[in-house]
């Protein structure tokens, strides 16, 4: 352990063996101390950022049928919906009235909508002046399959229509054993990375996520982090990393397996390990949406420097029975009470 600690104190990158040893042997206190030291080195000023945005799920109709999702509706159910232009406009207007700067736009893998549908939606939304942080890699890969066009062409068309940046959703665990069991109809780990790499090459900034605490092993979590770190070495396109624990309630997976919710301690350990391993990603985001406000405050001492979004609207985690809500005022109070200065930001971390 001393050798690993010495590496980190000297700013030297750790490898996978070091990561696994830290996970096995380091206490919660040790991991927090190491992660906090790295956070302070990268962010000497005691500032915690946040963004005001809204998560718009344009459709819940999805052919992927992921076993961890309580939100989707299968096309044959007939109960799913696609938001209308009027609904989109009202949601954007409400967001802007609350000081919101962006829309997080994600939806199910709809079997029937052509690429032109998404281009038209982007143009309509862009006319409001909002930043569109939209379409995770599985969606973009799906658009490519539906249209028969290469991912590069799809991305160029989406950018031309108004897409500004891409969220890191749909990563789950970037290991095909896990993906084949939980989401066999969704893009592979290599395909997720390929979409992100192409997006970075085209000038889009993106985030990266990890949903952990279900059927994956610690070695598979490491594989996920290694893939993200390797891509960041090549492109530098990730602005932030967001690890969040699987919420099992009401999901198909919880009906076939007994999966306990990830405890606060295990969440904080994984958050700290992510900060320690991802030395080339500047920002680590707390997950108050799944953990609640008090653990999110603690996250600021376990490597997180960003409080994430106000989440004016959130549907996917809520479908699993988790209903934490925070206003901008509450986020600012929580940050101040933890001893930091709150700062509103844009997607690329430019201060507002």
Kindly list the structural domains of the chain, giving each domain's residue range(s) and its CATH number in brackets, ordered by start. Answer: 2-344 (3.20.20.70)
Closest CA to 283 of 104, 51, 96, 15: 51
Kindly report, residue by residue over 309-331, the tens digit of the pLDDT. Answer: 887 765 544 444 444 468 899 99
Query: Given a cut of 70, is residue 225 above it in pLDDT?
Result: yes
Chain mean pLDDT for the chain: 91
Query: Can you give the pLDDT at residue 49?
Result: 97
Place of tokens 């991991």: 31
**3-state class of 219 per DSSP?**
helix
CA 143, CA 151: separation in Å to the nearest integer?
Answer: 8
The whole-number average pLDDT for the span 338-351 is 97
Residue 64 pLDDT class (50, 70, 90 cuts): low
CA dihedral 10, 16, 18, 20 (to 10 degrees): 140
Q: Give residues with Cβ within 8 angstroms of 84, minimum separation 6.
A: none
CA 267, CA 17: separation in Å to the nearest integer?
Answer: 21
Query: Can you give the pLDDT at residue 321?
Result: 44
Beta bridge partners of 55: 104
What backbone phi and psi angles, to 5 degrees, belong to 207? Answer: -105, 170
Question: Quick one: tokens of 100?
Answer: 């919101």
Closest CA to 87 of 105, 72, 75, 99: 105
> What interhelical angle do 189-201 and 137-147 show, nearest 10?
90
Query: Can you give the pLDDT at residue 65?
Result: 63
Kindly report, residue by residue over 167-212, the tens digit of the pLDDT. Answer: 999 999 999 999 998 888 899 999 999 999 999 999 999 999 999 9
Question: Quick one: tokens of 124?
Answer: 């309509």
E-assigned strand segments in the chain? 47-51, 53-57, 102-106, 131-134, 165-166, 205-212, 238-245, 283-284, 306-309, 341-344
Query: Can you give the pLDDT at residue 319?
Result: 46
Q: How many residues does this entry show for the chain?
A: 352
Query: Given a cut of 70, is residue 265 above it in pLDDT?
Result: yes
CA 38, CA 303: separation in Å to the nearest integer?
Answer: 7
Quickly count: other Cβ atoms within 10 Å of residue 347's Cβ.
Answer: 22
Percent of the chain with pLDDT over 90: 75
């Amino acid at each position: 352990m001393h050798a690993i600690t010495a590496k980190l104190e000297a700013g030297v990158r750790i490898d996978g063996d070091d990561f696994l040893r830290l996970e096995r042997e380091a206490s919660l206190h040790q991991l927090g101390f190491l992660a906090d030291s790295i956070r302070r080195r990268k962010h000497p000023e005691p500032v915690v950022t946040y963004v005001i945005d809204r998560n718009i799920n344009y459709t819940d109709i999805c052919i992927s049928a992921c076993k961890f999702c309580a939100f989707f509706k299968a096309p044959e159910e007939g109960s799913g919906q696609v938001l209308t232009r009027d609904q989109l406009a009202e949601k954007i207007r409400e967001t802007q009235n609350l000081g919101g700067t962006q829309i997080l736009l994600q939806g199910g893998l709809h079997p029937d909508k052509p690429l032109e549908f998404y281009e038209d939606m982007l143009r309509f939304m862009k006319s409001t002046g909002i930043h569109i942080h939209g379409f995770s890699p599985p969606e973009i890969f799906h658009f490519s399959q539906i249209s028969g066009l290469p991912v590069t062409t799809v991305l160029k068309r989406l950018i031309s229509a108004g897409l500004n940046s891409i969220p890191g959703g749909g990563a789950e665990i970037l290991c095909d054993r896990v993906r084949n069991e939980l989401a066999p109809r969704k893009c592979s780990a290599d395909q997720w990375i390929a979409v992100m790499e192409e997006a970075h090459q085209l000038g889009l900034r993106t985030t990266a996520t990890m949903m952990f605490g279900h059927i994956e092993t610690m070695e598979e979590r490491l594989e996920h982090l290694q893939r993200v770190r390797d891509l960041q070495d090549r492109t530098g396109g990730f602005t932030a990393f967001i690890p969040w624990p699987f919420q099992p309630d009401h999901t198909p997976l919880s009906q076939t397996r007994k999966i306990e919710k990830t405890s606060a301690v295990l969440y904080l350990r994984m958050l700290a390990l992510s900060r320690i391993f991802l030395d080339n990603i500047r920002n680590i985001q707390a997950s108050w949406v799944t953990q609640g406000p008090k653990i999110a405050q603690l996250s600021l001492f376990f490597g997180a420097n960003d409080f994430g979004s106000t989440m004016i609207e959130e549907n996917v985690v809520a479908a699993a029975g988790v209903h934490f809500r925070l206003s901008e005022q509450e986020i600012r109070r929580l940050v101040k009470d933890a001893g930091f200065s709150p700062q509103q930001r844009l997607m690329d971390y430019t201060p507002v």
